[in-house]
Amino acid sequence: MSSSRFVLFLLLSLAPFSFSHQKAQIQETFHECLSNIQTPNTFFTPNDTNFTQILKSRAINLKFRTPSTPKPDAIFTPLNETHIQTAVICAKKLGIHLRTRSGGHDYEGLSYTSVMGRPFVVIDLSKMQDVNVDLADNSVWAETGATIDRLVQIMNTGFPELGLKKEDCFEMSWIESVMHIMEYPKIVPPSVLLERKPSFLNYFKAKSDFVREVIPESGLEGMWKIMLEYGSPLMIWNPYGGIMSKIPESSIPFPHRNGVLFKVQYVSAWMDPAMEDKHVSEIRKVYDYMTTYVTKSPREAYVNYRDLDIGMNGKSDDSWGFKYFKDNFHTLRKIKTKFDYSNFFSHEQSIPLID
């Protein structure tokens, strides 16, 4: 949540500093200060039976679960943002050192232990785990304490038919997701990308579409059928929305924005060159099947999934240009004509001059 993030920023920047507090004093004064927002079961000291269980609940590195690991003098588990703000203000006022713990990685355990030798209190955000799905706004806000379990739960409430299990989800950084999509085994480090070599070579043909209206179930049924029959191509759907929708269509050449639900990439790949005709004809048939369910007039396409099937200079009209760029195609042609009137830079789908 943005305001939780703001609080975290505050936590980092306040840097309260005092060694004078003894354990009991910290527990007492902090508890006292929080008293005006006290809700039951949000404040725990080592005397409480639940203290250890809460402390360990998200201490997933065994290195930091030993008896000698420095422990907080208290754990506060806020239920809402007001509670967090109050805790931060109290800690600042009392000079209490805070650690905050949410739902993410913490390889050195700095959110729940300390090697600095000073007493500290943990603000554990594990009870702040609302996930709000706003379909109208195409947004999901996950509170900072939410973990993947919670997201899986939402998926299973909204889309039980997908049968999503926790084991199907992997928490990973962006670069790890790149490695995952490229099907590198987990042990391969991202530095392999610096070799700038493709991970494998094959023969392939790709096409693309954009979808602006929900595909009815009957459409999906037919899609499964044809794909299962051919065993190819594979389809990748990239969700759109969010900031993509807010940027005006004409601001840069890429026009597939407001109203696009997702992009479809079709890819057919093969290793035996003799199989080319079969695969290319199959991907075209799947593409034909999808005509009913995707954008029309123009049938939009993604320029970086280059596809000569949709037309090319000298061999067809220029409707392919509108598929890639919609009305920006006019502007691109004006620019092209102004700066490269001899058409020096040209290829099958380079921007044509204005006639």
Ligand X SMILES: *[C@@H]1O[C@H](CO)[C@@H](O)[C@H](O)[C@H]1NC(C)=O
What mask of x and - would describe binding to ligand X in positions 21 to 50, judged by CB under 6 A? ----------------x-x-x-----x--x
* Nearest-angstrom CA–CA distance, 176 and 188: 10
Using CB under 6 A, which of 16, 69, 70, 81 touches ligand X? 81
The stretch near ligand X (CB under 6 A) out of 4-12, 81-89, 166-174, 248-256 is 81-89
Place of tokens 């997201």: 151
Long-range contacts at 110-113 (CB < 8 A, ≥ 24 apart):
112/55, 112/58, 112/59, 112/64, 112/72, 113/59, 113/64, 113/69, 113/70, 113/71, 113/72
Using CB under 6 A, which of 82, 250, 292, 331 touches ligand X? 82
Could you tell me where the beta strands, DSSP code E, fall in the chain?
43-44, 74-76, 97-101, 120-124, 131-134, 139-142, 203-211, 234-239, 262-270
Whichever of 53 and 250 has its CB closer to ligand X, that residue is 53
Could you tell me where the beta strands, DSSP code E, fall in 129-288?
131-134, 139-142, 203-211, 234-239, 262-270
The least distance separating ligand X from the CB of residue 30, rounded to whole angstroms, comes to 14
Whichever of 3 and 177 has its CB closer to ligand X, that residue is 3
Q: In what order do the strands lie in the sheet with 97-101?
A: 43-44, 74-76, 120-124, 97-101
The least distance separating ligand X from the CB of residue 100, rounded to whole angstroms, comes to 18
Place of tokens 């380079």: 350
Q: Binding-site residue total for ligand X (CB under 6 A)?
A: 9
Whichever of 44 and 320 has its CB closer to ligand X, that residue is 44
The least distance separating ligand X from the CB of residue 112, rounded to whole angstroms, comes to 16
The least distance separating ligand X from the CB of residue 142, rounded to whole angstroms, comes to 17
* Helix (H) and strand (E) counts in the chain: 11, 9
The stretch near ligand X (CB under 6 A) out of 76-84, 183-191, 225-233, 309-317 is 76-84
80 binds ligand X (CB under 6 A): yes
The stretch near ligand X (CB under 6 A) out of 79-87, 217-225, 330-338, 347-355 is 79-87
Nearest to 106 by CA among 52, 53, 60: 60
Tokens of 252: 């840069």
The least distance separating ligand X from the CB of residue 103, rounded to whole angstroms, comes to 16
- Segment 136-175, which members bind ligand X (CB under 6 A)? none
The least distance separating ligand X from the CB of residue 45, rounded to whole angstroms, comes to 6
Nearest to 293 by CA among 221, 227, 215: 215
* Nearest-angstrom CA–CA distance, 23 and 21: 6
The stretch near ligand X (CB under 6 A) out of 78-86, 177-185, 287-295, 329-337 is 78-86
Residues in the site for ligand X, rule: CB under 6 A?
Answer: 37, 39, 41, 47, 50, 80-83
